[in-house]
Amino acid sequence: MNPELFPLSSTGKLHHNTPVTQLVEFALARGEGRLATTGALAVETGVHTGRSAQDKFVVRDAESEGQIWWDNNKPMTREHFDVLLGDFLKAAKEKEIFVQDLFGGADKNHRLPVRVFAEYAWHALFINHMLRRPGPGDLEGFTPGLTIVNLPTFRADPARHGCRSETVIACDFTRRIVLIGGSSYAGETKKSVFSFLNYILPPKGVMPMHCSANVGKADDSAVFFGLSGTGKTTLSAEPSRTLLGDDEHGWSPQGIFNFEGGCYAKTIRLSAEAEPEIWSASNRFGTVLENVVIDPVTRAPNFDDGTLAENSRSAYPLHYISNASATGTAGHPKNIVMLTADAFGIMPPIAKLTPAQAMYHFLSGYTAKVAGTEKGMGNEPSATFSTCFGAPFMPRPAWVYGNLLRALIAEHKVDCWLVNTGWTGGKYGTGSRMPIKATRALLNAALSGELKGQAMRTDPVFGFQVPLGLSGVDAKILTPRETWADKAAYDAMAARLVEMFQQNFSRFADHVDAEVLAAGPLPLRTAAAE
């Protein structure tokens, strides 16, 4: 045990850098989970089956005051954080704690040393999968650049700690400490590392990105932005290309690099036929199955059962994917893909974006939720705008990331594409889901450079370029209005979606130039005028 380990070292109950097999054994012995027939560790997180976004706070002090986007981040006073930290340390000294020393970032020029103190053995196993594991000699003189303390059984006191509920995620970016209490959802730890990287990297000229990434044989890397449910993980797991990672990357002067050493894939309705790589990785020893239903007798995982959570997850190291990159690094991207699942049926399956349009859609971060997927939703789809395709993890103002991305796109002459994996032939409930074969064909043609050579039309709603055709793809779906039986209904729905975009983007109007403002949809671009 390292005597220099934070104030928690006085507990005398620390397990430092415990290997994977032993962490599984600890988790089983402590009743934290069950072993599935596949050797995966099945755990349940209780009431918290996803992130507690409303319970995340950033300490507001002299250093962070002018750096944080306070419209997007909840402040906590220095005084409240200090009381919370003292109570965390007091609570931790009564517990057995698992400590992992890891790195955020495959590029050694920009990686972040992270030390995680976890109350649960399975949380230590999870973060060991998710971050970059140290190689020979990497731990000599290891000094954490970020310290995370995760105590799921800790209950915060809103009056005492200046928070909202018994659950708290408190980030002190000045002292590089994150405290997580009252939630068993393991993703909080992973996203806390990402949030801190989003804070420290932009001033260094490194673009942090909530995206998946892969690379072809010609070092033609591609980046995939997208919110949950848009196909980010599925579409980047292309067998003919090497996977860098499925969620978090950086773009430095040397190229792109994965922040992580693992994948955190959704498993609801996971099948070997549709997603063979993810299926295989989810059914291996040491994989963490979070809120996946396990048969009480056979212990076989049932990925079709959403009883515990629709947001069931599988966490595994990247080397469980056969075509994963060993280095986690690649050259500058040749293509950027922004994924949306447009449940209104207005957007084409693919469109080519100018750099200004790319910034507009990056800041917009649009997708749509379908009716019935969340409590309180009616019969209509619901538009979702998450800035930079990851607003909850962006401490700095959105335009900081948008301007950095736009400059990198221009410098490296990157082709940018908007891909709609949502609906065609009508909105959700009337139309049908975009055919996955068509999406893959169009995407592969974009990545290979073939699509750039196709004849294009200017979309009358959004102003971007849309190919007129591609061999093997039904040309009709490339013009969304033509797939609707009721053209007037399409025009009305398009007008509504345009209004949603404009209303959302109005908050950025004072922070972008005229070219970006003009890159969005305009009322005069209505399909009815065609």
Considering the candidates 228, 280, 479, 526, report the single residue annotated as catalytic: 228
Active site residue 427: no
C-alpha–C-alpha distance, residues 500 and 505, integer Å: 9
Active site residue 161: no
Burial zone of 28 (CB within 10 Å; 0-12 exposed, 13-18 middle, 19+ buried): middle
Nearest one of 195, 200, 44, 13 to 118, comparing CA atoms: 13
Helix (H, G, I), strand (E, B) or coil at 523: helix
Diameter of the chain measured on Cα atoms = 74
Considering the candidates 101, 246, 247, 415, report the single residue annotated as catalytic: 247
- Confirm if 484 and 345 have CB atoms less than 8 A apart: yes
C-alpha–C-alpha distance, residues 505 and 428, integer Å: 24
Considering the candidates 48, 111, 191, 249, report the single residue annotated as catalytic: 191
Tokens for 530, please give them.
């065609």
Compute how many other C-beta atoms are within 10 angstroms of the C-beta atom of residue 271.
11
Find the helix or strand (DSSP H, E) in which 483 lies.
helix 480-483
Considering the candidates 56, 123, 210, 241, report the single residue annotated as catalytic: 210
Considering the candidates 51, 110, 266, 481, report the single residue annotated as catalytic: 51
Output b/e per residue, 172-211; b: 16+ Cβ within 10 A.
Answer: bbeebbbbbbbbbbbbbbbbbbbbbbbbbbbeeebbbbbb
C-alpha–C-alpha distance, residues 323 and 157, integer Å: 47
End-to-end CA distance of the chain: 72
3-class SS letters over 26-84: HHHHCCCCEECCCCCEEECCCCCCCCCHHHEEEEECCCCCCCCCCCCCEEEEHHHHHHH
Active site residue 313: yes
- Confirm if 9 and 117 have CB atoms less than 8 A apart: no
In angstroms, the Cα distances linking 230 to 76, 156, 447 are 33, 35, 18
Cβ neighbors of 116 (< 8 A, separation 6 or more) are: 99, 100, 102, 123, 124, 127, 147, 148, 150, 189
Compute how many other C-beta atoms are within 10 angstroms of the C-beta atom of residue 19.
10
Considering the candidates 129, 161, 232, 406, report the single residue annotated as catalytic: 232
Alpha-helix runs per DSSP H in 385-429: 398-412
Find the helix or strand (DSSP H, E) in which 498 lies.
helix 487-505
Active site residue 241: no
Burial zone of 79 (CB within 10 Å; 0-12 exposed, 13-18 middle, 19+ buried): exposed
How many helices (H) and strands (E) the chain has is answered by 13, 30
Considering the candidates 48, 313, 369, 481, report the single residue annotated as catalytic: 313
Active site residue 228: yes
Active site residue 232: yes
Catalytic residues: 51, 191, 210, 228, 232-233, 247, 313
